Structure 1
Amino acid sequence: MRSLRTAGTVALLAVLAGATPAVAAEQGFVAMFNGKDLAGWEGMPGGWWVEEGAITSESTKEQPCLKAHYLYWKGGEPADFVLRFQYKLIGGNSGVQIRSQKRPDWDTWGYQADMEAGGQWTGCLFQHDRDGVVMRGKKAVIREDGTRVEEEFASGDELQAKVKPDDWNDYEIVARGSRITLAINGHLMCEVDDRHARLACKRGIIALQMHPGPPMKVQFRNLRIKLLD
């Protein structure tokens, strides 16, 4: 375990060597994006670019996105961390993959911190094989056999009202052991203790999603990460 963490740290430091430290002023955080170009990231050619200091992707009527694709962060495969960023979503759906695996054709598999222009998925933890691992306003414990215990700690509609449509929102993801929490604009959205024997994700890449469907635009900025012991 020690050697895996050391290797991950070396990869992280290599990518971050050229990153701008301004957004990493919080103690222990390092910048994942330099605000200028896609150095340290890898994605479908032409699918992502930097616009006004933000990582950007867009689907239009003239050039629609026909299949989901992801922008991979090249900083390693962290297990336990705090990830903070800002996002702006105009239409459609997007998300940030954590503890994930690369798949062919710029695809991924793993956990996704979800966001959308509608009212269903923002602030939920998604996974391809399970859809909503835990929904907004819920805390869940998932046992090894897949059975679960859930409690509602807040109204999903009330939490949705904390999200600013078509504007910048602050998103925080905390992953430590089997526990993952998602918060938007300082409000806890969901929490899960995922012990599933087959589907729980222990470590993996971080990636940004471009989702197919109606015209939409997604932007990410101020991405920074803190590795946890």
Structure 2
Amino acid sequence: MKLKINYLIVCIFLVGLHGCKEKKEEKTTEVVASTVGQDDEFTPIFDGKSLDNWSGDPDYWRVENGTLVGEVTPTTLLKKNTFLIWEGGQPADFELKLEFRIAEAGNSGINYRSEKVDGIPFALRGYQADIDGKINYTGQNYEERKRTTLAYRGEKAVIKSQENPDAPDSIRGNIANNAWQSREVLESLGTSDELKTEIKSEDWNEMHLIIKGNRLQHYVNGILMSEVIDEDHINRALTGHLGVQVHVGPPMKVEYRNIRLKSL
């Protein structure tokens, strides 16, 4: 009798264990299915084969092994930053996902809600998700040719208009130490050094931008690196061009792949 009871207990334990395993597997499947469903809503805007629907200087941009490559060589050093600009529209509210890899000496970024600069080929002015090879600035929000730094990595900041926007050269007058002065840090997302450890050096990382209304969020590898709430009604932009950058400086190489866009 004792043997039968022990046998029954073992059977009940094994059945229960099997049931738990099934539930765990079912839950995992739901998470994966949910992730796939979200990714299905994104549309590729780089075909991995050509620069169709993109405009830029071919001395600096090419497609290689399914990857978009931006490169500055000793014989093609830049005097001004140059961009490869997506010509498929001017997104307003959107999410952008892509993967990037950058050399240690590299300096790049992803511009959005930007305008083309008159008289300078392939130049953009506007918001930028910063990327650099030394990982000093990757993830911050820097406004190219305009208000400069809006939020350093690790900051959630609100941006205000300057006190006297009608003053001559009012934008330049409101910048100090390469940062916009009419801004307030609302909270910390973590120190810059802490967040730096989440970014891989000279390896592939994922950038995810969530841009909706006046809220601008930059994620790297699933971690929120900076957030801007732009209440500057005079200088902010609510729509504009997308582009990727190679920066003035030493020879460098940056690569992008799996560039996908979703309208919100």
Identify the TM-score tier after normalising by the shorter chain: 0.7 to 0.9
Deviation at 1:117, TM superposition (A): 1.2
CA contact (8 A) 2:215 2:229 kept: yes
Q: Distance in 2 between matches of 1:149 and 1:102?
A: 28
Match of 2:79 among 54, 66, 72: 66
1:149 partnered with 2:188: no
Separation in 2, partners of 1:43, 1:82 = 23
1:100 counterpart = 2:117: no
Query: What percent of counterpart residues are identical?
Result: 38
Query: Is the contact made by 1:24 and 1:30 (CA closer than 8 Å) also made in structure 2?
Result: no
TM-aligned CA deviation for residue 47 of structure 1: 2.2
Structure 2 counterpart of 1:140, which letter?
A
Alpha-carbon distance between aligned partners in 1 of 2:189 and 2:97, rounded to the nearest angstrom: 23
User: Which residue of 186, 196, 221 maps to 1:185?
Assistant: 221
Q: Which amino acid aligns with 2:109?
A: G
Secondary structure of the structure 2 residue equivalent to 1:88: strand
State how 1:1-229 maps to structure 2 within 5 Å.
26-90=39-103, 91-103=105-117, 104-127=120-143, 128-145=145-162, 147-150=182-185, 151-228=187-264
Per the alignment, residue 11 of structure 2 pairs with none
Shift of 1:145: 4.2
Aligned to 2:17: none
- Please identify runs of 4+ aligned residues in structure 1 that moved more than 6 A: none
- Structure 1: stretches of 5+ with no match in the other structure: 1-22
Please give the TM-score of this superposition, normalised by the length of structure 1: 0.85
Name the CA distance, whole Å, in 1 between partners of 2:183 and 2:149.
13
Per-residue deviation, 1:141: 1.2
Q: Deviations over 1:29-59 (max 9, x none)?
A: 1000111111111111332100111111111
Q: Which moved further from structure 2: 53-62 or 207-216? A: 53-62
Which residue does 1:7 correspond to in 2?
none
Q: Which structure features the higher share of helix residues?
A: 2
Amino acid at match of 1:205: H
Task: Output the amino acid matched with 1:68.
Answer: N
Deviations 1:64-123 (A, max 9, x none): 233211111011001000000001100221001000001122111010110001242111
CA RMSD of aligned residues (A): 1.7
Structure 1 residues 197-206 or 136-145, which shifts more?
136-145
Secondary structure of 1:94's partner? Answer: strand
Distance across 1 between alignment mates of 2:130 and 2:230: 17
In 1, Cα distance between the equivalents of 2:135 and 2:44? 30
Three-state SS of the structure 2 residue aligned to 1:120 is coil
Normalized per residue, the structure richer in strand is: 1
Bigger radius of gyration: 2
TM-score (normalizing by structure 2): 0.74
